[in-house]
Amino acid sequence: MSTDTKQQIETALRAFSGSDLRTASIGLLNSLGYQSKKTLDLDNTPDANHALTHVF
């Protein structure tokens, strides 16, 4: 793993302390080389999280 890749991962991990969870998570996945245009936007509520368990 290159130093540049490690730096990108470190930067992405630090973003969790100042960004919303969704944005920081996408940034971390991108730094690991994963990219997808498919996303699922849910409200940050217990009901939305419960509904997600029935989608998959």
The domain in which residue 40 lies consists of: 3-55
Structure tokens at 18: 């100042």
The pLDDT tens digits for 12-48 are 999 999 888 888 999 999 999 998 888 777 777 777 7
* CA gap 15, 28 in Å, rounded: 9
Question: Which has the higher per-residue pLDDT, 2 or 49?
Answer: 2
pLDDT for 5 equals 92
Entry pTM: 0.68
Please say if the pLDDT value at position 56 is more than 70.
no
pLDDT for 29 equals 94
DSSP string, 2-39: -HHHHHHHHHHHHGGGTS-HHHHHHHHHHHTT---S--
pLDDT for 15 equals 95
Q: How many domains would you assign to the chain?
A: 1
